[in-house]
Structure formats: C-alpha cells, structure tokens
Amino acid sequence: MKLVFTLVDVDYNVQSISQFLDNSQTAYWTEPIFAFTPQIDRSKIYQLEKQDQELYLRTIFTQLVEENKNTLKAKRIAYQNHWEICLPQITEALKSAFKINLEEEFNDMNAKITFNPICPRSLSEHSFDLFYLNSDKGAVGIAIHEIIHFIWFKVWQEIFHDQAEEYETPHLKWILSEMVVDPIMRDPLLSSINPYFETGCVYDYFYTLFIDNKCILDHLYEMYQQMPIDKFMQASYKFCQNHEAEIRHHIETNE
Ligand SMILES: [Zn+2]
C-alpha cells in the first residue's frame, strides 16, 4: 500500500470545484466551498455559463495557488511524512478488516492537494482530492476514509460482480459504502490516529439516522463484528435494501 501526496495546477482546482457549482447541488455540498473560498461571489457564479464560470474560477485560483505556493509545498511534505509514520498501523488495521494482502496492492494511490473542501475521489484511479487546510493528522484521517472506499469496492466487486457505476451517488451501494467507513474506523488502530473520528468521520446525517431506535451505524457495527467481511457486505446491503425508503428520506431531508 503506497500513497503519494501531490500538488495540482490551477486547472485541476477549477475542475474539482466547478463540478459542485453546476446548480444541481444542495447547500450541504456548496456551503463549504463558499465558506472557505469567499473570493467566489455566489450571486455571480450561478449566473455564468459553464465556460465563463471556469474562466472566473481560473482567475481566482491562479491567485490563490500563487499566494499559497509555500504553504502548499510545506503541507505536501507534512502530509507525506505523517502518513509514512502511520502507515504500518493503517496497513495492519485494513488487512485485518478486509482480510487481504495489502503489501502487494494499492501501490498507486494519489492524494491531490486542492482548494476543494469536499474530497471527491476516483475509484478507478485510486485518487482523491484533499483540502489544503487539513492538518497532517487530518490529512491522514481523510486518507484512511478514502482508502477504505478503494479496498471496500475491490473486495465488493469480487463478491457481487456488478457495475462500478453503481458505486457512485445516488446508488444505495454508494450510500452503504459511505456508512461502513464508520464501523471499520472504530478499530482503535484507526480511530486513535483520525482526529475526525470523534466529531464524525462519515457524513453527519448518518449519525442521526435511526432504524428501530438505534443509529444505523451501530446496526452496521454490530453486523460487522459478528461476521467475516464478505458476509458483512451481503448482510449490510440487504439491511439497506430493507430500509431503503427510510434511509433515502433521511438523507433527502438533511442534505
Ligand atoms: Zn467517503
């Protein structure tokens, strides 16, 4: 398992952010962008056509990349160094969670340091965006979250032989994959080095999603402890299918 933290150019930042500013996203997704980048005028951005929107963002990010040149370089080194320190215990925890040999696999992972506070990921490329204002510990916490997705879906595909399109929002398989990060992260080897664990290492609306008076994450944790990972994937998915209407209703009212 190998993860490299990299710096990206202005264009990458523009693409990463603009995909969330196409008018189809709720405030849940767009608010952090406006909060962390007040240079983006929200009344202006939505009036622009996609091409002009990108030109507008390019001006803003050209300046931001230049102004933060040294910070970005220092962050990249700090993230990488802290990752290497934590790597043995992360590998041990994930090997035990997924029962796979991680020495030979996932050697091509890439964390792209961006101005996007949302961290979109690419399963096929084993890459994800990482917000530049994270601490080194926070960066490792985010990385563990994303890597759990990569390994989860690799193991999942071997069991279900399904289509990767279903691993993306709004599919139920995607929703489940976002929830199971919590039970897996409860391993003290991971939770102890993830500063986001206490306040929430998955979308906050999952913590208030109750099924039969119990938080759905606790239901999943109980199942996760009781069975091997392949059985857990099947049982947890069945559980989500049985409660799909409640789950979707809760997300829609809270997103
Ligand atoms: Zn996620």
122-159 pLDDT, tens digit per residue, is: 999 999 999 999 999 999 999 999 999 999 999 999 99
| Average pLDDT of the segment spanning 36-51 | 94
Contact 97, 229 (CB under 8 A): yes
Q: Residue 246 C-alpha to ligand 1 middle, in angstroms?
A: 20
Q: Residue 47 C-alpha to ligand 1 middle, in angstroms?
A: 30
Q: Residue 149 C-alpha to ligand 1 middle, in angstroms?
A: 7
Number of domains in the chain: 1
Q: What is the pLDDT of residue 219?
A: 98
Q: Residue 121 C-alpha to ligand 1 middle, in angstroms?
A: 8
Contact 5, 83 (CB under 8 A): yes
**197 backbone dihedrals φ, ψ, rounded to 5°:** -60, -45
Q: What is the pLDDT of residue 28?
A: 87
pLDDT surpasses 90 at 77: yes
Q: Residue 131 C-alpha to ligand 1 middle, in angstroms?
A: 14
Q: Residue 30 C-alpha to ligand 1 middle, in angstroms?
A: 16
Find the domain containing 34 and state its range.
3-254
CA distance 238 to 1: 30
The CA distances from residue 187 to 42, 145, 181, 192, 231, in Å, are 41, 13, 11, 8, 19
Biggest alpha carbon distance in the chain?
53
Reported as a pLDDT band with limits 50, 70 and 90, residue 207 is very high
Contact 143, 93 (CB under 8 A): no
Residue ranges with strand state E in the chain: 3-7, 109-114, 121-122, 127-131, 210-211, 214-215
Check whether the bond before 170 is cis (ω within 30° of 0): yes
Query: pTM score, two decimals?
Result: 0.95
pLDDT surpasses 90 at 216: yes
Q: Residue 52 C-alpha to ligand 1 middle, in angstroms?
A: 30
pLDDT in tens, 59-68: 999 999 999 9
Q: Residue 238 C-alpha to ligand 1 middle, in angstroms?
A: 20
